[in-house]
Amino acid sequence: MTSLLTWDETDERAVAYLRALAADSVQKVGNGHPGTAMSLAPVAYLLFTRVMTFDPRDPSWLGRDRFVLSAGHSSLTLYLQLFLADMGLTMEDLQAFRTWGSRTPGHPECGHTPGVETTTGPLGQGLATAVGMAMGARYERGILDPSSPTSPFDHRVYVLASDGDLEEGISGEASSLAGTQGLGSLTVIWDDNRISIEGDTAVAFTEDVVARYRAYGWDVHEVEQLPSGDVDVAALLSAIDAAREVPDRPSFIRVRTTIAWPAPTASGTAKSHGSALGADEVAATKAALGLDPGEHFAFDSAVLAEVRSRLATRLQPLIDAWRDLFATWCEGNKSGLALLMRLESHALPADIDSALPKYSPGTAVATRKASGETVNALAALLPELWGGSADLAESNNTSIEGGGSFLPSSSPIPGADPFGRIIHFGVREHAMGAVVNGAALDGLLRPYGGTFLVFSDYMRGAVRLAALMQCASTFVWTHDSIGLGEDGPTHQPIEHLWSLRAIPGFAVVRPADANETSAAWSAILHQRGPVGLVLTRQNVPTITDPDGALDGVPRGAYVLEGPERPDAIIIATGSEVALGLAAAQDLQKDGISVRVVSAPCLEWFDDQDPDYRDLVLPPSVRARVAVEAGATLGWWKYVGSAGRVIGIDHFGASADHITLFREFGFTTERVADAVRASLAEG
């Protein structure tokens, strides 16, 4: 399909006003990034007015195309289009840019501003998240409408990316994966303005980017700028149309631009990237655009009305056609409609907990193994449960048996299935985190991605954004401590648990045994926030009752064993809960009564009401010991001034896990001695 671009005086005037608004917004607040918003104004305008399908009255409409501003520092590029399309932002919102309480913060925030699909700003994250959106859309198509030639679940994902986005390693990881996945619904437009904060990008960025994307397997197009320095919108539309005709490869469009065009002295300069232009330069820019230099935050009402009228005229038939297609699908897919309604309501099957595996006390099972068994038990009831691993599936136990490899039908890999349930992320932890986020943002899927806990460092940026957006991303992190053994200190996490717990709005879940692991998956699925599930490599004894775990785990911490009025409390997580039980039994022989508290998720425990927290950890009991095979730094909040913490604040070593736990002091005797010391002080 080729579109003939009709670009008239209304379009020219609209883009001129958008450029002036970008300059005005930054000038008013005194800080921001005007240059890119000015030069990209015609690109974003073209996408919103000529290309994308969306409903201005319903920013979350199921049939919409997705727009991702990966260059999140140029947030005005998006805000201006949301204003122009009448999607909830007003001129007053633009005037409040980057100020307290505004709907136009410095970088786009998903859930804060209607029409923002994902939080962007950390460079590369938007592009990588968009890859997840495209992957998720294909999987959603598979569970809802796999065989129709055209489907109401088909849509496209458009990304505006900067030089900085393409310099960040995460974008390379994600782009490589997108090429392997053949994501024909994804189009990335690269703003090639060759300017960064430090000047010409050639100081650090000299490779042939277009050749790199061809090597990734993308469909590639190049759009040169007009002699004036402005964007060639006709050539850009031709490139976008050509990209739409390639169903089996993502498309990459290089667009040559001049930053801050047409500012008389600031265009093409590094200063215009991240600083207000200054009143004189803003006035001169308006004059160059044919606007009144004395007007601020102006937009001709007739031009605005005409643009919105044209947009409605273009979009309404597309919306109506989608509704007809959706109605036809609903009529012929009753089971699919029931599933969609359940997914949209974030409900779970009523019998979900009855499917959870239960483990008999006395058996020894690695929690990573129990997690894999739980995922497979739940997968039969939850088609939305979908994920994989960063080339560690056998170690992370993340594969859904018989689920097929999520790969395009053109893949030579045996078992390739464009709607498969097993994602092969490759050794790309950071991209994996962002892809999981992108797939989760629709709200229909429950995606997960796995790696070793120590490599959560490689994906921390994506994890932090998951917490900021509160999307339902699940990160499965195995090999949770020195207990992984002989791989040694490079693979043994020490500081990671508390480092991750420090992220606001993120839950770290470290179950004690197989039953708590099963219960943890239930708790994760019953709530919607992002979670890191932290699991052992080594076998651990099954010490909990499955029903008790199912009740206790969602509350974050619970009394596993001990009297109503204990002398002391041992708090432990993960594999160390069994150690706490053994120490309590030894102390009982000396007449010291000890309560053992399993605390799989401190964040969930902190969210409980004070009465429950005091019931589990009575304030009157000052003798407390926390036991965890990781850094000690955050435990003092729970043990108090008379308490003790058994942990490890140095790197590990290469040896079997039994030796390591003994040599580094994770023994029954040491825990019992710590209880006695705490009692003496309390």
Instruction: Give catalytic residues, as residue numbers.
Output: 429
Instruction: Let me know: does 569 contact 617? Beta carbons within 8 Å.
Output: yes
Distance (Å, whole) CA 388 – CA 400: 8
DSSP 566-605: -SEEEEE-TTHHHHHHHHHHHHHHTT--EEEEE-S-HHHH
Residues with Cβ within 8 Å of residue 637, at least 6 apart in sequence: none
Torsion of CA 602, 652, 390, 499, to 10 degrees: 30
DSSP, collapsed to helix, strand or coil, labels residue 255 as: strand
DSSP 83-129: HHTTSS--HHHHHTTTSTT-SS-SS--TTTSTT--S---STTHHHHH
Dihedral-angle region of residue 507 (phi above 0 means left; psi in -120 to 50 means alpha; beta otherwise): beta
Q: What does the DSSP 8-state code read for residue 275?
A: S
Distance (Å, whole) CA 170 – CA 126: 10
Distance (Å, whole) CA 514 – CA 367: 5
Smallest Cα–Cα separation from 532: which of 571, 560, 573? Answer: 573
- Find how far residue 635's CA is from the centre of its chain: 28
Cβ burial of 617 (10 Å; 0-12, 13-18, 19+) is: buried
**What are the residues facing 627 on neighbouring strands?**
572, 646
Instruction: Let me know: does 451 contact 445? Beta carbons within 8 Å.
Output: no
Instruction: Let me know: does 145 contact 102? Beta carbons within 8 Å.
Output: no
Chain length of the chain: 682
Distance (Å, whole) CA 621 – CA 643: 10
Distance (Å, whole) CA 612 – CA 252: 54
Dihedral-angle region of residue 160 (phi above 0 means left; psi in -120 to 50 means alpha; beta otherwise): beta
DSSP 456-485: GGGGHHHHHHHHHHT---EEEEES-SGGG-
Dihedral-angle region of residue 530 (phi above 0 means left; psi in -120 to 50 means alpha; beta otherwise): beta
Distance (Å, whole) CA 462 – CA 122: 9
| Integer Rg of the chain from CA | 28
Instruction: Let me know: does 64 contact 155? Beta carbons within 8 Å.
Output: yes
Distance (Å, whole) CA 538 – CA 365: 8
Instruction: Let me know: does 650 contact 545? Beta carbons within 8 Å.
Output: no
Structure tokens at 610: 């004070």
Instruction: Let me know: does 496 contact 453? Beta carbons within 8 Å.
Output: yes
Instruction: Let me know: does 299 contact 25? Beta carbons within 8 Å.
Output: no
Distance (Å, whole) CA 485 – CA 575: 14
Smallest Cα–Cα separation from 320: which of 63, 649, 35? Answer: 63
Q: Tokens 């947030």 belong to which residue?
A: 75
Smallest Cα–Cα separation from 56: which of 307, 329, 343? Answer: 307
Smallest Cα–Cα separation from 439: which of 66, 54, 64? Answer: 66
